Structures are given as structure tokens and as C-alpha cells.
Amino acid sequence: MRAKHQSFVYRLLLRWFVCSLGLWVAAGLLNGNVSYGNHIGGVIIAGLLLAIINAIIKPIIVLLSVPAILLTLGLFMIVINGITVYLVSVLYSPLHISNFGIAILTGIIIGLVNYLVTAILDERS
């Protein structure tokens, strides 16, 4: 049971790191359309909120969106990622996303960062 708890904590910390890193990269790439107040604490807190929303709320949204996901052959997941990013910007005012299209691009960037971090970690083990 202890290993299961450690695995959950490790995954949550990794998600937090990846979400924070992804938001930071998106803010750098999307010139002013994504901002976090230029304080590292802002991007860290926004990353934590995004990790929590991805762990709790996103599975519910995915379950409710199964027909749309199937009809679009999975591409609707990009929209769901944008929804979660936009939701964080609504809940946490230091994170500013200029519009929903930018939220979708931010979700794509976070997904790419997640892929790269996962690939690096899998290569090391």
C-alpha cells in the first residue's frame, strides 16, 4: 500500500512540474498572450492548479465528451486540454490567457512538454 501512495505522490509532483514548465514555455512562445505576472511563484501555483484540475475535473469532462472524442477520432481532446487551461486562468487571476484559442495552443504546448519530459524520464530508467 505504501508503494501505491508513493507512486501517486510522485505522479502528482511530476504532473505539477510538467504543467508549470509547460505554462512557462507557453508564456515564452506566445508573446504576451499567456502571462503569469512574471513571478516564478505565479507559474508554480498555476501549474499546481492545472495538475489538480487535470487529475480531478478532466476525467469527468472526458467521460461526458466521449461521443465528441469518438466522432473526431480523439482530436476533441485538444479542446478539452484548452478548457482545462482556460479554467485555471479563470480561477487563478495572475495567470492570464488572452482567449480560448490561445488556451488550446497552451494545452498543445503543455502536451508536447509532457511528451518530452516523459520520453527523457523513460530513457533514463
d(Cα 79, Cα 103) in Å, to the nearest integer? 9
pTM of the model: 0.90
Q: Please report which confidence band the pLDDT of residue 31 belongs to, taking 50, 70 and 90 as the band edges.
A: confident
pLDDT at 3: 64
Beta bridge partners of 35: 96
For residue 5, what is its C-alpha cell? 501512495
Domain ranges of the chain: 2-124
Predicted confidence (pLDDT) per residue in 5-24, tens digit: 668 888 889 999 999 999 99
Helix (H, G, I), strand (E, B) or coil at 12: helix
Predicted confidence (pLDDT) per residue in 51-108, tens digit: 999 999 999 999 999 999 999 999 999 999 999 999 999 999 999 999 999 999 999 9
pLDDT at 10: 87
3-state helix, strand, coil in the chain (%, to 5): 80, 5, 20
pLDDT at 42: 94
For residue 108, what is its C-alpha cell? 498543445
